[in-house]
């Protein structure tokens, strides 16, 4: 078959290109001299953290998020919810970790309900406490004395989100102490806003309270004595994960196991987040700079 001059042109160009390569040598694309070849790092999986809108939970979750992103190369997605869906999401595998489970009392019912479906990595903070909190200048010291202040308190105890363990425990306290008070659900921020207003106006108020919390540094407050022991003794904050996370992301689990804070450290972290004019992300990253040695000790060695 006759080939036209136009059709022969690609063949000529191919032949010329072939002459430029020495016989027996493989043609390679090399980087310019002195420039190392760059390989894109493998993209790490997303870590899904769930949290409740409690002061210590917000602070700890955003701190761990910053460490995973800045120091360990992960992408982190955070989701805020009430405590019941938080536990459900861990149990179903839709979330990876929750940093603020209060045991042995507050979240006992959830741990029993989801036994075998969540993993307890251990204690991150061991000086926690829940109970009923009032301004220090209120002239009562015990839960038993609240009925004498019922009218001044508008027959109300200011609560937080309805699914929180402290809410069910407070309902039990109302029954045990036969209180003429109603527990009013709200949220962590709404509770502290009500407390702030009451302290400023020097009016009586009783709230569902817990420690650690920045409110104890901000205002002069006290826990009411609990002679019946409804709220239990000292509690600990535990880190929980979904089943299988240690197999899937062992370095993330190693970080979470190492993650521990004492009273001063957690107090300073919560204070930094509360006082921040911007988002928690900026506050926790500044806190990391000021506590570099502590943070370095949490990060697993490669």
Supply the pTM of this predicted model.
Answer: 0.73
- Residue intervals in the chain for CATH 3.40.190.10: 46-128+234-298
pLDDT of residue 94: 98
Per-residue pLDDT of the chain (302 residues; tens, 9 = 90+): 433 433 433 433 343 344 334 333 334 444 444 444 455 567 889 999 999 988 899 999 999 999 999 999 999 999 999 999 999 999 999 999 999 999 998 899 999 999 999 999 999 999 899 999 999 999 999 999 999 999 999 999 999 999 888 999 999 999 999 999 999 999 988 999 999 999 999 999 999 999 999 898 889 999 999 999 999 888 999 999 999 999 999 999 999 999 999 988 998 999 899 888 778 999 999 999 999 999 999 999 87
CATH T-level topology, domain 46-128+234-298 = D-Maltodextrin-Binding Protein; domain 2 (3.40.190)
Phi, psi of 150 (to 5 degrees): -60, -45
CATH of domain 130-223: 3.40.190.100
pLDDT of residue 106: 87
pLDDT of residue 24: 39
- Residue intervals in the chain for CATH 3.40.190.100: 130-223
pLDDT of residue 227: 97
pLDDT of residue 40: 54
pLDDT of residue 169: 94
């Amino acid at each position: 078959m006759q080939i036209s001059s136009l059709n022969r042109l690609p063949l000529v160009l191919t032949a010329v290109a072939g002459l430029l390569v020495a016989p027996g040598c493989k043609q390679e694309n090399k980087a310019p001299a002195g420039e190392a070849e760059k390989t894109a790092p493998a993209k790490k999986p997303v870590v899904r953290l769930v949290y409740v809108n409690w002061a210590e939970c917000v602070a700890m979750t955003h701190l761990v998020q910053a460490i995973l992103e800045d120091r360990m190369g992960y992408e982190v997605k955070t989701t805020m919810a009430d405590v019941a869906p938080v536990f459900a999401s861990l149990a179903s595998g839709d979330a990876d970790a929750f940093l603020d489970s209060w045991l042995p009392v507050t979240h006992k019912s959830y741990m029993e309900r989801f036994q075998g479906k969540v993993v307890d990595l251990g204690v991150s903070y061991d000086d926690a406490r829940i109970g009923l909190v009032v301004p220090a200048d209120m002239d009562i010291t015990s839960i038993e004395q609240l009925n004498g202040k019922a009218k001044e308190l508008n027959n109300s105890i200011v609560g937080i989100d309805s699914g929180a363990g402290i809410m069910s425990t407070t309902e039990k306290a109302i029954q045990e102490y036969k209180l003429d008070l109603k527990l009013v659900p709200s949220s962590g921020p709404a509770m502290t806003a009500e407390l702030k207003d009451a302290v400023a106006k020097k009016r009586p108020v009783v709230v569902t309270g817990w420690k650690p919390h920045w409110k104890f540094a901000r205002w002069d407050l006290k826990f009411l004595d609990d002679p019946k022991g409804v709220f239990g003794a000292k509690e600990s904050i535990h880190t929980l994960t979904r089943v299988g996370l240690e197999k899937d992301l062992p370095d993330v689990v190693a970080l979470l196991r190492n993650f521990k804070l004492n009273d001063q450290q957690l107090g300073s972290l919560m204070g930094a987040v509360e006082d921040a004019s911007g988002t928690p992300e900026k506050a926790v990253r500044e806190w990391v700079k000021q506590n570099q040695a502590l943070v370095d000790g949490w990060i697993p060695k490669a």
